[in-house]
């Protein structure tokens, strides 16, 4: 699963940049990247929260790939609407690349994009497949040709974009019959551990309530289960799916790390670093006391609620012979 990724360009023109790394040129011959900027690009107004190197490192360590249930939903839709072969997938707001990598086995070429240079550097440090490459660019100005993308994905990222500008870009880059998947987990996770699950969930909710005071306004799009995103998708053939993932194993320490990767925690930490650290430490201690254990490496189960907006661009109508 991918967490929230920012997509806000630096001041000036919206130019894509490729960061040097072991995979930076793996698709150089495969992609026909745009050589000139389009002059008609609107101003980008998306959120810009995940740029720091320290945050990118936390993101890389504590975020995880999309669950199998979500991938099954996406690929079933793609197979139904378009069918193979699959050439190009673009994973927008890819962060440190966990979601981009899972697309590799299914496509001839995969491009992960993010506005954060630090996030892309983290992604390139992973053992990526030869057909996977990364670019630094805003979500609203992707470095791919018109009608060239089979599948565009954004895992826990789309709510950070300038949605109206992004939807115009989505319409531009998708092939006729191409598909899009915009998904996120909903911040209402379920924690499971013996007979104290209810107490642990209450503790987590108390901590979440504190962090919510530092939440960006765009988080409301997630809380409303991507209804706004669904409404803005420009293709009539679309649907919105909600589901709970299977339970996954976390240690208490890794759950605290996951919380550190939240944009709202980072905002809190930037404003009041000692208070943010104290909140995290207190939350961990309360978890351990409730679980009656001493090691933060003790495992517990967590399940997430997900939303996935799927859509298909209309195929090109065949010309009728005279």
> DSSP of 292-315, one letter per residue?
T---TT-EEEEEEEEEEEEEEPPP
Per-residue pLDDT at 163 exceeds 70: yes
**Per-residue b or e along 149-176, where b marks 16 or more CB atoms closer than 10 Å to that residue's CB:** bbbbbbbbbbbbbbbebbbebbebbbbe
Domain-wise residue ranges, the chain: 48-313
- For residue 225, give Cα distances in angstroms to 91, 305, 315: 20, 10, 28
Per-residue pLDDT at 226 exceeds 90: yes
Average pLDDT of the chain, as a whole number: 82
* Polymer length of the chain: 322
Per-residue pLDDT at 79 exceeds 90: yes
Residues contacting residue 163 through CB under 8 Å, at least 6 positions apart: 228, 229, 232
Q: Which CATH architecture has domain 48-313?
A: 3-Layer(aba) Sandwich (3.40)
Higher pLDDT, 289 or 37: 289
Per-residue pLDDT reduced to its tens digit, 93-111: 998 898 999 999 999 999 9
What is the number of other CB atoms lying within 10 angstroms of the CB of residue 53? Answer: 13
- 96: tokens are 């440190």
């Amino acid at each position: 699963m991918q967490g929230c990724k920012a997509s806000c360009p630096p001041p000036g023109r919206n130019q894509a940049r490729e960061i040097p790394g072991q995979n930076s040129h793996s698709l150089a011959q495969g992609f026909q990247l745009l050589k000139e900027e389009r002059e008609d690009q609107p101003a980008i107004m998306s959120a810009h929260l995940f740029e720091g190197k320290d945050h990118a490192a936390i993101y890389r360590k504590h975020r995880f790939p999309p669950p199998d249930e979500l991938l099954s939903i996406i690929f079933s839709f793609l197979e139904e609407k378009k069918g193979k072969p699959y050439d190009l997938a673009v994973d927008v707001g890819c962060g440190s690349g966990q979601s981009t990598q899972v697309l590799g086995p299914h496509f001839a070429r995969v491009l992960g994009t993010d506005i954060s240079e630090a996030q892309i550097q983290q992604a390139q440090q992973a053992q990526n497949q030869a057909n996977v490459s990364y670019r630094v660019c805003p979500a609203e100005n992707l470095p791919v040709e018109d009608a060239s993308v089979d599948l565009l994905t954004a895992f826990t990222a789309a709510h950070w974009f300038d949605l109206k500008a992004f939807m115009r870009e989505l319409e531009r880059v998708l092939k006729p019959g191409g598909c899009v998947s915009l998904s996120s987990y909903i911040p209402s996770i379920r924690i499971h551990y013996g007979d104290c699950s209810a107490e642990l969930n209450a503790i987590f909710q108390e901590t979440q309530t504190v962090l919510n005071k530092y939440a960006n306004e765009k988080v409301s799009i997630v809380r409303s289960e991507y209804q706004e995103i669904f409404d803005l998708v420009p293709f009539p053939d679309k649907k919105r799916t909600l589901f709970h993932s299977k339970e996954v194993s976390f240690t208490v320490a890794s759950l605290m790390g996951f919380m550190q990767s939240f944009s709202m925690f980072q905002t809190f930490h930037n404003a009041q670093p000692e208070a943010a650290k104290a909140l995290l430490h207190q939350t961990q201690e309360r978890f351990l006391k409730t679980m009656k254990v001493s090691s933060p490496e003790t495992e517990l189960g967590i399940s997430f609620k997900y939303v996935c907006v799927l859509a298909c661009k209309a195929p090109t109508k065949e010309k009728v012979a005279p």
